[in-house]
Structure 1
Amino acid sequence: MTEPLIRAENLHKTFASAGTRKTRVPVLRGISLDVHPGEMVSVVGPSGSGKSTLLYCLSGLESSDSGSVRLAGHELGTLGRGALAAVRRKHVGFMFQSYNLIPSLTARENIALPARLARRPTSRTAIDRALADVGLVDRGGHRPGQLSGGEQQRVAIARVLAMQPDIVFADEPTGALDTAAGSEVLRLLRASAGAGRSVVVVTHDLEAAALADRVLVLRDGLLHQELRRATPEQVLEAITLAGAVA
């Protein structure tokens, strides 16, 4: 089997309790997992189970209290802030539920922004190809306020695809979309997994979770169950069980 793009071992993460800094609340309690090239993995579980925190730790946006994350051959815990940012720019694309588009920039300019910030050359052809991949080739000159929610999320996907990252992380990418727009976003995410690129998505959407090669079910900061090629009904049953046991 190929070397995993992500290997997490015994991850622990706590946050300060509301109202006091002395009390720490455990959010991740010893999670270990691998994500292999070309694989789509979804992370599901009851609210408060640690899904988004896990995603942020795997992507290097949050540091864990203990344990290790190895991403594309780099031990994240050993890197300084500048080196960690360089690894993220080179290997990671991140999709947020809130899109994180710059209102004053056009869709085309938003897609080009990560390359500009990383001081990497990018071409109009590459940007237009990314727009075409998400079905927005005629909307490149529009600003976010002129686009629907589904179109904004597709611009966010195009921005990630134009970066050509090894790993795409997506945090509730369909949470603010209607059914039709959400289905299109999911199709694009599923299609982007492969040819060595991996996708890790946190979702409450059963259909989204079932598109993945593997489904990781979290409960109370622990990896409760792993499903392979699951149906939406099997995902729902696993989440319901995790919620009942938690």
Structure 2
Amino acid sequence: MSSDVPSPTPVVAARDLVKSYPPARRGGTETVVLTGISMTVEPGEFVAIVGPSGSGKSTLLYCLAGLEPPSRGQVLLLGEDPATLLRGRLARLRRSGVGFVFQSFNLIPSLSARENVTLPARLSGRRVRAAEVTAALAAVGLQDRGSHRPGELSGGQQQRVAIARVLAARPRVVFADEPTGALDGATGTAVLGLLTQAAHAGSAVVLVTHDLEAAARADRVIVLRDGAIHGELRTPTAAEIFAAVHGHPAGALR
């Protein structure tokens, strides 16, 4: 009798993903940003995507999240191809299973912190208990700021509200694009700790970052160069990531 345990179904899968943009003017050439990306993200896995400026990191994240359609190839998000879904079905898929954390926070200015945290659940028709919201705000150290609107909070506090919104929604996958870029060191470290906590609780996390110390927190680091995967590293140090990004022989890919 076999003791083999079936591998979990990836929450995100890309196959031969290509993304290009048409020429800005007639007679120009198209801009190819991603060239044949194939990758998967497993449940509960923390994956960081790094690479030089212009390597296609954010474009890859947006394609994986269903925010940008691929030019060729396929993306499966929670088992479905966003490019084939009607707008309403795609919106429901995002609301029910996907969390987003961006540098711009994306909070609703007219809503309080508590109301922003409960918004994804309300949009998906799911009831969130007050205790869950309180626990999510407490997890980011903002239990006493629930009635404050975003304009009354610092940038770091707004980002933590965005993280609390993800924690309360308990999505199957979280996409984070440079979430610490506008934060001071201490607040950025706290935000990364919360993303790690989300992964440990079972949500896959896909992080795009230029911060190599942040990337070193991931289970796996994907290195992009010129729109292609240059290599992958597992539980690397920041020095090993630096070497891989910049093509140095030290800390070679493993």
Shorter-chain TM-score bucket reads: over 0.9
Distance 2:234 2:26 in 1: 41
SS at match of 1:4: coil
Match of 1:125 in 2: 131
Partner of 2:251: none
SS at match of 1:126: helix
Residue 234 (structure 1) aligned to one of 232, 235, 240: 240
1:1-246 matches, cutoff 5 A: 1-20=7-26, 23-241=29-247
Judge conservation of contact 1:167–1:197 (CA < 8 Å) in 2: yes
CA apart distance, 1:65? 0.8
Taking the aligned partners of 1:232 and 1:221, their CA distance within structure 2 comes to: 22
Partners of 1:116 and 1:14 in 2: how far apart? 36
Contact kept in structure 2, 1:37 and 1:196, CA below 8 Å: yes
Which amino acid is 2:48 matched to?
S
Structure 1 unaligned residues grouped into runs of 5+? none
Unmatched tracts of structure 2, length 5 or more: 1-6, 249-254
The letter of the residue matching 1:184 is A
- Amino acid in structure 2 at the alignment position of 1:45: G
Count of residue correspondences: 242
Bigger radius of gyration: 2
CA distance in 2 between counterparts of 1:119 and 1:2 reads 28
Q: Tell me, in whole angstroms, the C-alpha distance in 2 between the residues paired with 1:121 and 1:184.
A: 28
Pairwise CA distance, 1:86: 1.3
Q: Does 172-181 or 96-105 show the bigger shift? A: 96-105
Question: Aligned partners of 1:82 and 1:48: how far apart in 2?
Answer: 32
Shift of 1:13: 0.5
Task: Name the TM-score, length of structure 2 as normaliser.
Answer: 0.91
Given the two structures, how large is their TM-score scaled by the length of structure 1? 0.94
| Alignment RMSD (CA, Å) | 1.5
Task: Name which of structure 1's ranges 226-235 and 121-130 shifts more when overlaid on structure 2.
Answer: 121-130
Q: Is the 8 A contact 2:95 2:123 kept in 1?
A: no
Task: Provide Cα deviations, 1:6-27, integer angstroms capped at 9, x if missing partner.
Answer: 1110000111344459632001
Instruction: Work out whether residues 31 and 223 of structure 1, in 8 Å CA contact, stay in contact via their aligned partners in 2.
Output: yes
Identity within the alignment, %? 59
